[in-house]
Amino acid sequence: MRDAETQDAIRRTAGVALPPRGGAALTLRVTKSRYRLDVLRDGVRLKTYPIAMGGQPVGAKRRRGDNKTPEGEYVLIPHHQSPSFGPCFYVCYPKATDAARGRRDGLITEAQRVGILRDLKRGRIPNKRTRLGGDILLHATHDRVPGLTRDNWTLGCIAMEYDHVHELLGAYRPADRPVLEIWP
């Protein structure tokens, strides 16, 4: 799953602490093909975490139930409380371009597209009950199950080890809205 350079980056950065509540200056980047999340500041990698994704990791999310993880830049809502996974980041999928594509492809109505845009403009979670899907999280689990990143098991979310997601949450305030870059 992970290439040697990714495994080495995870090992080399394991003991590096992230700046507390300094999230505004951080860049978060998932590289799906390498099963990693990098935290960068001014283009310099501070930390690399292992991740797992949806059961169909190749390609961008297109619709509900495709088990794919989105690709592109997405706004995150840190310290989101998930009933299933506890404190996590909410990935604001679908975004405007996803809604435009969904409308063009006949997956959503014009009213749903406009509603998604309105939610995003207001900083709210976009409508997740359309045929585009939603409820995409960057999460661990309540019960601290180790080894969450060994296999792709989510429905499109990005899974991290419990300690890793909580360390990353520590770099952000609840009001922060960091951007997550998700690369193929």
Helices 96-104 and 110-121: angle between axes, nearest 10 degrees: 180
pLDDT at 78: 95
d(CA 163, CA 165): 6
Cα Rg of the chain, angstroms: 16
Sketch out the chain's domains with CATH numbers: 4-93+133-183 (2.40.440.10)
Q: What is the mean pLDDT of the chain?
A: 94
pLDDT at 19: 87
pLDDT in tens, 33-57: 999 999 999 999 999 999 999 989 8
Q: What residues form DSSP beta bridges with 180?
A: 28, 74
pTM above 0.85, yes or no: yes
**Closest by Cα among 75, 74, 71, 76 to 33:** 71
Mean pLDDT on 68-84: 95
pLDDT at 146: 86
- Binned at pLDDT 50, 70 and 90, residue 20 comes out as confident
The answer on pLDDT for 25 being more than 80 is yes
Given a contact cutoff of 8 angstroms between Cβ atoms, the answer to whether 156 and 35 are in contact is: no
